[in-house]
Amino acid sequence: MGSKILVIGATGYVGKYIIEASVKAGHSTFALVRDATPSDPAKAQLIHSFKNVGVTVLVGDLNDQESLVNAIKQVDVVISTVGRDLVLDQHKIIAAIQEAGNVKRFFPSEFGNDPDHVHAVDPAKTAYANKAIIRRAVEASGIPYTFVASMFFARHVLPNLAQPGAKAPPRDKAVIFGDGIPKAVINTEEDVASYTIKAADDPRTLNKVLYIKPAQNIYSFNDLISLWEKKIGQTLERIYVPEELVVKKIAGAPVPLNMKLSLGHSGFVKGDHTNFEIDPTVGVEASELYPEFKYTTVDEFLTQFM
Task: For residue 256, say if its preceding peptide bond is cis, omega within 30 degrees of 0.
Answer: yes
CA 114 to chain centre: 10
* CA dihedral sign, ordered 85, 89, 90, 96: negative
What count of other Cβ atoms lies within 10 Å of the Cβ of residue 288?
12
Per-position DSSP letters for 111-180, written without gaps between them: -SS-TTS----TTHHHHHHHHHHHHHHHHHHT--BEEEE--EEHHHHGGGTT-TT-SS--SSEEEEETTS
Cβ atoms within 10 A of the Cβ of 306, count? Answer: 9
> Is-catalytic flag, 294?
no
Which residue out of 16, 131, 208, 260 is catalytically annotated? 131
- Per DSSP, helices labelled H in 29-89 are 41-52, 65-72
3-state secondary structure of 10: coil
Q: DSSP for 193-230, please give it.
A: HHHHHHHHT-GGGTTEEEE---GGGEEEHHHHHHHHHH
- Looking only at the bridges linking them, the beta strands covering 183-187 and 5-8 are unpaired
Who contacts 255 (Cβ-Cβ below 8 Å, separation ≥6)? 123
Q: Residue 185: exposed, middle, or buried by beta-carbon count in 10 A (0-12, 13-18, 19+)?
A: buried
- Residues designated catalytic: 131
